[in-house]
Amino acid sequence: MEKTIIKNAHVISPDVDIENAAIVIEGKTIKQVSKKPVSEKGASTVVDVKGQYVMPGFIDVHTHGANTYDFCDADPKAIFELAKGKLAEGVTTFLPTTLTVSHEELEVAAKNLKAYADAGMPYAKTPGIHLEGPFINVKCCGAQNPAYVRKPAIAEVKAIAKIFPVKQISYAVETEGGAKFAKECFKIGVVPSCGHTGAKLADLMPAYKNGLRHMTHFCNQMTPLHHREIGMVGAGFLIEDLNTEVICDKIHLCPDMLRLIFTRRSLAHVQMITDSLRCSHCKDGYAFTMGGLEVKLEHGEARLVKGGNLAGSTLWMGMGLKNVHDVTGIPLKDLVRTTSWNQAIEQGWGKTLGKVEKGYTADLVVINPRSWKPSAVFVDGEQRI
Ligand SMILES: [Zn+2]
């Protein structure tokens, strides 16, 4: 079995911060995390990371595109480019996320994803799809196309899941049948999430009682906090065990909001996401259309040419972690559970993914502490970057 040693590692894992550590990998699995140097005898590869951070590979449960491609493009190349872009960010597992489009387009995306799986997933791994919509509130579309919004229908989800597994669905809980839909999702192994929603707190509770514990891009495209109706933002603060996705680019949420979330909510129930669009990994000046609207990337911000509204993110997970670390001062060993382990627990992979510990899958990202960009990425014990 292939034996790899990563030496001079600054290991950052949930509740773990060890400098000058050595990580021994055998096959796909971490065999040892040692505080002292280990014998290199029998190792086929030794990687000296020279004191850089080694963290659990990031898990991004909400990402649409990268490198000019969107997962919903009717182009088999799109998922390969998205997975390649994710790997370059240090993401080892991700849920490619669809837009609110026609059922036929969703099936095409699922077929393209199956082809990526059949090709052995050469970049970042993906166990399944995150459907963002089409069962959302037409008044809270954001950048989603209202023409394709429809009522929750589990039959449609099952039809897509026949082609490739569906792992998560963002939908508006207040829509007709919304509470029952949460239950139906669990029955077929899908995490239901409240998103693009105009719900009041009372609208959320029937779905919550049916097990719903996830909120899509917390604060964005949901009812704000008001002192007479606390809305979904208030619900996120009131109910501790709601797993809230957060876009930590300091644009979708201002630094003070990030501070509020990360210092007042339980860190066990926060999940960093990128929600990245096709313009992620592109240079300033890149222009594209989204739902017929022109978007241009300037200063790393993708905004509508007309009106200047924010159209999506170009965030990398590592930079999100840096942003929150900077604005809150929370130690990395506490924050790092929000980039991988929390996501793994909710999706049912918490015993194998999301930690740099003995027995866990060797999905690792080496982060340069100056640039906060990955200098190496390991997937299933194999160095892919
Ligand atoms: Zn999204």
Q: Which two tokens stand for residue 16?
A: 């773990």
Q: List the domain boundaries for the chain.
A: 3-55+355-383, 58-347
CA of 186 to the centre of ligand 1 (A): 21
CA of 218 to the centre of ligand 1 (A): 11
CA of 383 to the centre of ligand 1 (A): 29
248 alpha-carbon distance from chain centroid: 11
CA of 142 to the centre of ligand 1 (A): 9
DSSP per residue over 48-72, as a string? Answer: E-TT-EEEEPEEEEEE-EETTEETT
CA of 64 to the centre of ligand 1 (A): 6
**Residue pair 67/99 in contact by the 8 Å Cβ criterion:** no
Single-letter residue type at 218 = F
Phi/psi of residue 245, nearest 5 degrees: -75, 140
Q: In whole angstroms, give the CA distance from residue 381 to residue 201.
A: 44
CA of 50 to the centre of ligand 1 (A): 36
Q: In whole angstroms, give the CA distance from residue 304 to residue 310.
A: 6
CA of 244 to the centre of ligand 1 (A): 14
CA of 312 to the centre of ligand 1 (A): 8
CA of 188 to the centre of ligand 1 (A): 22
CA of 15 to the centre of ligand 1 (A): 30
CA of 273 to the centre of ligand 1 (A): 9
Q: Torsion over CA of 361, 354, 129 and 320, rounded to 10 degrees?
A: -130
CA of 66 to the centre of ligand 1 (A): 13
CA of 62 to the centre of ligand 1 (A): 6
Domain 58-347: give its CATH architecture.
Answer: Alpha-Beta Barrel (3.20)
91 alpha-carbon distance from chain centroid: 9
pTM of the model: 0.97
CA of 63 to the centre of ligand 1 (A): 6
At residue 306, the pLDDT reads 82
At residue 291, the pLDDT reads 64
**Residue pair 203/171 in contact by the 8 Å Cβ criterion:** no
3-55+355-383 maps to CATH 2.40.50.140: no
Q: In whole angstroms, give the CA distance from residue 340 to residue 14.
A: 9
Q: How do the pLDDT tens digits run along the chain, 385 residues long?
A: 899 999 999 999 999 999 999 999 999 999 999 999 999 999 999 999 999 999 999 999 999 999 999 999 999 999 999 999 999 999 999 999 999 899 999 999 999 999 999 999 999 999 999 999 899 998 988 777 888 999 999 999 999 999 999 999 999 999 999 999 999 999 999 999 999 999 999 999 999 999 999 999 999 999 999 999 999 999 999 999 999 999 999 999 999 999 999 999 999 999 999 999 999 999 999 999 876 678 899 988 888 888 887 777 999 999 999 999 999 999 999 999 999 999 999 999 999 999 999 999 999 999 999 999 999 999 999 999 9
Do 3-55+355-383 and 58-347 have matching folds?
Answer: no
**Residue pair 125/92 in contact by the 8 Å Cβ criterion:** yes
**Residue pair 294/308 in contact by the 8 Å Cβ criterion:** no
At residue 52, the pLDDT reads 98
CA of 315 to the centre of ligand 1 (A): 12
CA of 99 to the centre of ligand 1 (A): 7
